Amino acid sequence: MATHADIDLETVAQLSTGASGLATSALAGSPAVAGAVVLATCNRFEIYGEAPHPDAVTAARAALITHISGTSGLSDQLVSRAFSTRTGAEVSQHLFAVSSGLDSAVVGEREIAGQVRRALITAQHEGTASSGLVRLFQAASKTAKDVGAQTALGSRGLSIVSVALDLATDLSENPDWSAKKAVVFGTGAYAGATMSLLRERGCTDVHVYSSSGRAPGFVATRGGTALDEHTLPAAVAAADVMIGCSGSDSRVEADELARIRTNSPQALIAIDLALTHDFDPAVGDLDGVELLTLESVRLAAPQEQAESLEQASSIVSGAASAFEQEREARSVDSAIVALRRHTMNVLDAEMEKVRARHGCTAAAEEVEFALRRMVKQLLHVPTVRARELASNGQQDTYIAGLEALYGITVEPSAGATAAGAAGSAAECPVDHNPAVQNPGDLGPAAGDIRESA
């Protein structure tokens, strides 16, 4: 996990280069990775993975590190130093908090819940989401809804975009947005949120540019005027505000902006919400230009009320605990099936002896009926006990008992070893990076923002 809370956003961008293809390539390249979901936003890069069995977790992590190194251009050693691994119940606790906005730069923001949902949808579409990861992410989305419905967290409608626009208002000589001309770069989720908030504030003179050529389709449903490379310079020259939400490879350079705005009488506020920078950081040094970045937003984000945070944290902790109990209970399914199969095989063998001696008579049918009823009753208590032990994290004790008493070897099920499902048996890794001491050592920035493209 690489987030704003641990390292600077430049480093997050470096690590997240190629994030869109990471899950697919990791599954194709290593049998140790059985499932993966990548959560890449403007201020975090997280990988939720599944290994086929607990012993494969180390190999799965190594495979992911290798793929990140290959896509980012950084060495395996640097990437490995930047990422550590979370396993067990910490995974569900973390993702539920993230989805609910408790781990955001703007605490309580609701955009992250949509980003978590889209991460799962993308993984399902690409065929990289295992059943355990699907359950984990669906539970995280439900928890986010519960937090939104049951607490005041996020009721002010704060988001990265809204805080950025508030900052722009404070810096403007004229706070009236209806009189402003805006240019938006990008057609992704953040661009959509930006368009909605600009409309709410009364800004109707909005132009949209996308280097991918998607601006016409974007403005057709959201309003505004589409720009191309020929009409962009004039719009920027006349703009009061330009907002970067694309994270594309092309960016507005300082010298280019200075040339375009040579004869522009009004000041310009440049809001760069792209992790990989839509605007050259040097534009902030130009006369008449004020540059706001994600770091500016993080520092300016207001604090939520302590009571709301406490309520939300309680909901998240309760949901994570319930998810873990359910996951643990499900982890003994294979053991229960193995015990039933063993018992029924013994019963079937004995019934074959009865039929061989007495034929398919009414008496034989009565014996079979009675034996099956008895076996069902005998299995009831061991089944209930299995789920009770599993809910307390003692499923290994139950499995060891089966092996000692009956000689039954229980093979781990896919659900029991789901890395992203966050369990002790699963040992599911969520890579994160509190160990980075010198982010600048990680090399030049290059990133990929799925939501802001």
Give the domain ranges of the chain: 2-156+306-325+427-442, 160-300, 332-412
- Residue ranges, the chain, pLDDT below 50: 413-453
CA torsion angle 339 341 347 350 (round to 10): -110
CATH topology identical between 2-156+306-325+427-442 and 160-300: no
User: Distance from CA of residue 218 to its chain's centroid?
Assistant: 25
Alpha-carbon distances of 156 from 162, 201, 296, 305, rounded to whole Å: 10, 15, 20, 11
What per-residue confidence (pLDDT) applies to 331? 66
What per-residue confidence (pLDDT) applies to 234? 96
In this structure, is the dihedral angle defined by the CA atoms of residues 250, 254, 255 and 258, taken in order, positive or negative? positive
CATH of 2-156+306-325+427-442 given 3.60.15.10, 3.30.460.30, 3.40.50.1220, 3.30.420.40: 3.30.460.30
What per-residue confidence (pLDDT) applies to 411? 64
pLDDT tens for each residue of 322-353: 998 887 777 677 788 888 888 888 888 888 88
pLDDT tens for each residue of 80-110: 877 767 877 889 999 999 999 888 877 778 8
Report the alpha-carbon distance of residue 200 to residue 213 in Å, rounded: 26
Q: Is 283 helix (H, G, I), strand (E, B) or coil?
A: helix
User: Distance from CA of residue 312 to its chain's centroid?
Assistant: 19
pLDDT tens for each residue of 162-217: 889 999 999 998 999 999 999 999 887 778 889 999 999 999 999 999 988 889 99
What per-residue confidence (pLDDT) applies to 307? 79
What per-residue confidence (pLDDT) applies to 361? 81
What per-residue confidence (pLDDT) applies to 432? 42
Kindly list the catalytic residues.
42
Whether the Cβ atoms of residue 283 and residue 257 lie closer than 8 Å to each other: yes
Angle in degrees, CA 441, 300, 20, rounded to 5: 50
What per-residue confidence (pLDDT) applies to 34? 84
* β-strand pairing of 289-293 with 44-50: unpaired
What per-residue confidence (pLDDT) applies to 4? 53
Q: What is the pTM of this model?
A: 0.65
CATH number of 160-300: 3.40.50.720
